[in-house]
Amino acid sequence: MTTFKGKGVYGAIALGRISVFKRKEASVKRTHIDDIEAEKLKLQIAKEKASNELLDIYNKALKEVGEANAQIFEIHMMMIEDEDYNESILSIIETQSVNAEYAVAVTGDNFAEMFASMDDTYMQARSADVKDISNRIISCLSQDDGEGDVSDEKVIICADDLAPSETVLLDKDKVLAFVTALGSSNSHTAILARTMNIPAIIGVGEDFLKNVRNGDMAVVDGYTGEIFVNPDRDTLSRLELKKSEDEEKKHLLQELKGKENITLDGTKINIYANIGSADNIGAVLAGDADGIGLFRSEFLYLENTDYPTEEQQFAAYKKVLESMAGKKVIIRTLDIGADKQADYFNLAKEENPALGCRAIRICLTHPEIFKTQLRALYRASAYGNLGIMFPMITSVSELTQILSICEEVRNELKADGVAISDKTELGIMIETPAAAIISDKLAPMVDFFSVGTNDLTQYTLACDRQNASIEQFIDTHHEAILRLIEMSAENAHRHGAWIGICGELAADTTLTETFLRMGIDELSVSPSFVLKVRDAVRHCDLSK
Ligand code: PEP
Ligand code: MG
């Protein structure tokens, strides 16, 4: 047995045979050509063919994985028309009198290298996209269909890496799981795997493909990120048991759909879901959440190459509110900075970005960005039950400024005759020790608190949440964190506000009873954890 470990991007277990994904690499030769104009025409025809293929893939993706995930193929179509990319190809053909295949291959390599060397992880991931479109154009130039071989049986696809288009073209009914040697969890391929519910592991190491063969038996554990190739009997039976328990658990949890989140002694609580995009609504509804407790609006900004306009934001927020049909939707204002960077913000490099200009600090120092988002939010408020939440609060004066900007925006919209809801709740995240400690002062100013335990843990324990090497010091159950949450809950209730938790700790069912005893009113978790938390709530008895 050989074991490889990478990063699990979708939690499930699969057993089956390996199929090594081979793409027909178009071998590109450099040939001299005499008729440059004919070569350019050939290139133009190939690009049109590539664009048509991408349109087909886009339509397939749209049906299977939703609009946001399909967008990458729209981006590919745009990349094919990118001016710099095309100028480079044409100049190679013209100046070197060489064939179009060669010019596309060289340009693709150069652009891919350029993206890969960028600091921004989002831009790095674009390296695979430019390679993908270049290979597609080369295939069209050489009349090769370019797609890899996939076995007819249901198999575990093993690849060096999978381009987004390759991932979406995999026939879901024939794929048990996929494992890639390379890849980042930020890549669209990983995002697609999660959306397609395919157990997947990425980044198992460059040696991986040298050690697996077509037909090898393997077990993929998407929870731990492990793949066991030719597993021994013990491993096989352990994983078979884990798989059936996992399926049984998932199945049993389905029976909790439609049931109340109520403890044995009758205490009710709201269980909401966390999302990063309007396209996650399907998962929220499937998970039977009572509402959305955290919509991380910054993903709208991260997916774009420029500031999303008021209209773009309004459309996204409206879609979520309408889809949730009157259920609570809490949208958090822009929480960019630290680990979430978008180039166009031109944020200065900082020694300690987690302690730097991030989240509300950016909004308060760039009121025009903040006001655009608030206008979109208030306009969308007319379409459902909106709550607006502000991240990274540390002081009363910040909150005073925020509330006054909100009032200004509301007054402007009303003066323009725009319909807005007057029931929009305003809340803050408790994710700094400062906010928890002065929660008695903050509570009277808002309708709700939502505890961001991910950041609250990082700032309370002085442990960088991005730094895997200090994991042993990150005690998420640390008494200091629990006391800060309890203190915030007491202060919220004393001043008539409600309090939820939207950090990862909300899904830790070993703490559900502790949270309920503190008086937490709402827990907001990933859509797939809603039923698990409901189950934990229904087993609590607070009367004892
Ligand atoms: C948190 O800090 O707990 C939180 C929910 O916000 P994010 O993880 O987006 O920083
Ligand atoms: Mg946070």
Supply the residue whose CA is at minimum distance from atom 3 of ligand 1.
Answer: 452
Q: What is the pLDDT of residue 67?
A: 79
Supply the residue whose CA is at minimum distance from atom 6 of ligand 1.
Answer: 452
Fold of 2-21+148-235: Glucose Oxidase; domain 1 (3.50.30)
Instruction: Calculate how far, in angstroms, residue 502's C-alpha sits from the geometric centre of ligand 1.
Output: 7
Distance CA 457, CA 466 (A): 12
Q: What is the pLDDT of residue 471?
A: 73
Low-confidence ranges of the chain (pLDDT < 70): 23-26, 143-152, 164-165, 184-192, 194-196, 468
Contact (Cβ atoms closer than 8 angstroms) between residue 492 and residue 443: yes
Which alpha helices (H) appear in 307-359, and where do they start and end? 310-323
- Does residue 454 have its Cβ closer than 6 Å to ligand 1? yes
Distance CA 188, CA 376 (A): 27
Q: Which of 431, 451, 529 to mutate to test the pocket of ligand 1 (most atoms within 8 A of CB)?
A: 431
Instruction: Calculate how far, in angstroms, residue 506's C-alpha sits from the geometric centre of ligand 1.
Output: 11
Distance CA 14, CA 176 (A): 6
Contacts of 462 (CB under 8 A, 6+ apart): none
Supply the residue whose CA is at minimum distance from atom 1 of ligand 1.
Answer: 452
Token readout for 391 is 């991240």
- Residue 298 alpha carbon, nearest atom of ligand 1: 9
Q: What angle do CA 524, 530, 535 make, to 5 degrees?
A: 120
Q: How many CB atoms lie within 10 A of CB 510?
A: 9
- Does residue 508 have its Cβ closer than 6 Å to ligand 1? no
* Active-site residue (options: 76, 140, 158, 188): 188
- Does residue 502 have its Cβ closer than 6 Å to ligand 1? yes
Beta-bridge mates of residue 388: 331, 426
Q: Is 363 a catalytic residue?
A: no
Q: How far is CA 537 from CA 258, 341, 487, in A?
A: 14, 37, 22
Domain boundaries, the chain: 2-21+148-235, 36-141, 266-538
- Residue 450 alpha carbon, nearest atom of ligand 1: 5
Q: Is 502 a catalytic residue?
A: yes
- Residue 502 alpha carbon, nearest atom of ligand 1: 5
Distance CA 495, CA 497 (A): 6
- Does residue 453 have its Cβ closer than 6 Å to ligand 1? yes
Q: What is the pLDDT of residue 340?
A: 79
Fold of 266-538: TIM Barrel (3.20.20)
Fold of 36-141: Enzyme I; Chain A, domain 2 (1.10.274)
pTM equals 0.67
Instruction: Calculate how far, in angstroms, residue 360's C-alpha sits from the geometric centre of ligand 1.
Output: 13
HEC sequence for 248-308? HHHHHHHCCCCCCCECCCCCECEEEEEECCHHHHHHHHHCCCCCEEEEECHHHHHCCCCCC
Q: What is the pLDDT of residue 120?
A: 79
Query: Which ligand has the nearest atom to the CA of 503?
Result: 1
Token readout for 95 is 């100046």
Supply the residue whose CA is at minimum distance from atom 4 of ligand 1.
Answer: 452
